[in-house]
Amino acid sequence: MKKIFIKSVAMLIALICVCMFAGCGEPVGTGDTGGAQSGDGQTMTGGVYGEESVAAASDKYSEFDLNAMWDSKSTFITLADNNIKITGLGAKADGSDLTINREGTYVLSGSLSDGQIKVSVEKTEKVHIVLNGADVTCKDSSALYVTSADKVSVTLAKGTVNSFVDGKNYTYAVGAAEHNSCIYSKDDLTFNGSGTLNVTGNYNNGIATTNDLKIVSGTINVTAVNNGIKGKDSLAVNSGNVNVESQDDGVKVENDLEPEKGYLCIEGGTVNVTAGDDALQSLQTVTISGGMTTVSAGGQAINCPGAVNVDENCFKDNSAN
């Protein structure tokens, strides 16, 4: 009986030791990036990360536009010159150029001194990019270039500062001369989150889309030698802090053909625009119904041949003219 008791105690001690060593071990990673990182720099082993969606001021914003969450099943990418590390599926690297080629969520950190982030997926697919401390400079093209997608949303992770810079001259492939902005999208583009994005457009525009552009939240600072922020079909600001300094127009919308498009709508947040020409420009409608918009323009504060609806408590014109 005594021998049985001693043997049982020994087995129990051995079991405890095994559990202790297992508990002290590193979590098993899915690649060579050292594990997934949250916006606060914490290693993720499961669960959902990011921020709860901010309230939408109107029905202009879809669930996809408002989503600022990601999880450990996302694809995690660490940017580095000629050494981009990818943990997960849906992206490939070629030197310092990264291409996202399938629907999904991609969390980016690190830096590129001369590289590009490109999104090229099916027209029915949505891509969610989380900027978790990403700095990208592209000396001869757009730093972020969306060539094909249904929609792309960019989340600015909490507590992070991200920067995108392009060069003064672009090199175009044959038949691809349409992109002319530091951040350029041929499809719908949305920004959300609570981090900061600094955009420097040295060639032409800062941020531009040929479809709809939405700013749900976040701090976005744009400096551009031509237009600051340009949404061809429409541009809507839900909340956040938007600061634009441009040598030509500050914030503009160009669609004058489709009645349901062509609007520039600021429903909340703080918007500051300093422009060499017009501060706010739209060919159909301009609406400012919330937040505070302050402009200083070399041309017109608001240039719109269509309907202009501005709450005077939400707008301040500091232009000299």
- Alpha helix ranges (H) inside the chain: 2-24, 63-66
Tokens matching residue 26:
């590193």
Residue 199 and residue 184 in contact, taking contact as beta carbons nearer than 8 Å:
no
> What pLDDT is attached to residue 230?
97
pLDDT (tens place) for every residue of the chain, 321 residues total: 444 444 444 444 444 443 343 333 322 222 333 344 544 444 444 568 888 778 787 889 999 999 999 999 999 999 999 999 999 999 999 999 999 999 999 999 999 999 999 999 999 999 999 999 999 999 999 999 999 999 999 999 999 999 999 999 999 876 665 789 999 999 999 999 999 999 999 999 999 999 999 999 999 999 999 999 999 999 999 999 999 999 999 999 999 888 889 999 999 999 999 999 999 999 999 999 999 999 999 999 999 999 999 999 999 999 987
pTM of this prediction? Answer: 0.86
Distance CA 64, CA 58 (A): 14
Q: Closest Cα to residue 209, out of 102, 119, 75?
A: 119
Q: How far is CA 313 from CA 247, 257, 289, 293, 297, in A?
A: 27, 31, 9, 9, 19
Please state the domain extents for the chain: 35-317
Distance CA 151, CA 153 (A): 7
Cα–Cα dist 46/321, whole Å: 56
CA distance 236 to 256: 16
Distance CA 238, CA 69 (A): 18
Exposure class string for 153-174: b at 16+ Cβ within 10 A, else e: bbbbbbebebbbbbbeebeeee
Collapsing DSSP to helix, strand or coil, 169 comes out as coil
CA distances from 238 to 149, 150, 223 (A): 23, 21, 21
Structure tokens at 187: 């499809």
Burial 82-105 (b: 16+ CB within 10 A, else e): eebebbbebbebeebbbbbbeebb
62 alpha carbon, distance to own chain's centre: 16
